[in-house]
Amino acid sequence: MMDNDQTQKPQPEFALQRIYIKDLSFETPHSPDVFRLEWRPETTLNLNNEVQKLADDVYEVVLTITVTTKVQDKTAYLVEVKQAAIIGARGFSEPELNHMLAAYTPNILFPYAREVVSDLVGKGSFPQMLLAPVNFDLLFARHQAQMAEQGSPSLQ
C-alpha cells in the first residue's frame, strides 16, 4: 500500500505576517479659505497595488489609495495612504498566487486604509469621508482580461 502523505501535493499556505502604514500624506492646500465655501465636494479616488518579492514565499503588498476632494475647483484636501502587508504564501500555482497578491491581499488591506482616510479627513475638520467598498476581485479579473487582449503576460 502506498503512503498517501508522500504523493499528495502540499497544502497551500497564506499567512499575514504584518500589516502597517508604509506612507501617509494629508494636505489642505486652501485652508482656511475652503472652510468658507459652500460644501459641494467633488471627490476622486485612485487605487494602485504594488507587489515586491522579499524572499522565497514572502511578499510585500502595498495598496495605495489617493483621495482628492475639491470644492469650487479648489482642493479642499488630498489624502494618500500606502497601506502595506508582509505575507507568506507557498504552495499556490502562479495564477493563484497572482490572485492572492493582486486581489485577496488588497481586499484585506482596504478596510485599514479606509479607516485611515476617514480619521485624517475628520481630523482635518472636514465632513466624514467613508469610501465605498471596492471589489478587487473584479478589478483583478478586468486587468487579466485586458492583459490577455494585449497579448501580455499576466501581471500582479
**In CATH, what number is assigned to the domain containing residue 28?**
3.10.420.10
Identify whether 42 is part of a domain.
Answer: yes
Q: Give the rounded distance of the alpha carbon of 114 from its chain centre.
A: 10
pLDDT exceeds 90 at position 154? no
**Would 35 be classed as within a structural domain?**
yes
Q: Phi and psi (nearest 5°) for 112?
A: -65, -50
pLDDT, one tens digit per residue, over 58-86 is 999 999 999 999 999 999 999 999 999 99
CA distance 14 to 17: 10
Q: In the structure grid, which three cell numbers stand for residue 16, read together? A: 499575514
pTM value?
0.86
Would 122 be classed as within a structural domain? yes
Residue-wise pLDDT for 21-56, tens only, equals 999 999 999 999 999 999 999 999 999 999 999 999
Q: Is residue 135 domain-resident?
A: yes
Please count the other Cβ atoms lying within 10 Å of the Cβ belonging to residue 36.
6
The answer as to whether 7 is a domain residue is no
Angstrom distances, CA of residue 135 to CA of 6, 83, 138, 139? 39, 17, 5, 6
- Which domain range does residue 49 map to? 12-150
Please state the domain count of the chain.
Answer: 1
Residue 3 domain-assigned?
A: no
Would you place residue 7 in the very low, low, confident or very high pLDDT band (cuts 50, 70, 90)? low
Closest CA to 88 of 40, 111, 56: 56
The reply to whether 156 falls in a domain is: no
3-state secondary structure of 140: helix
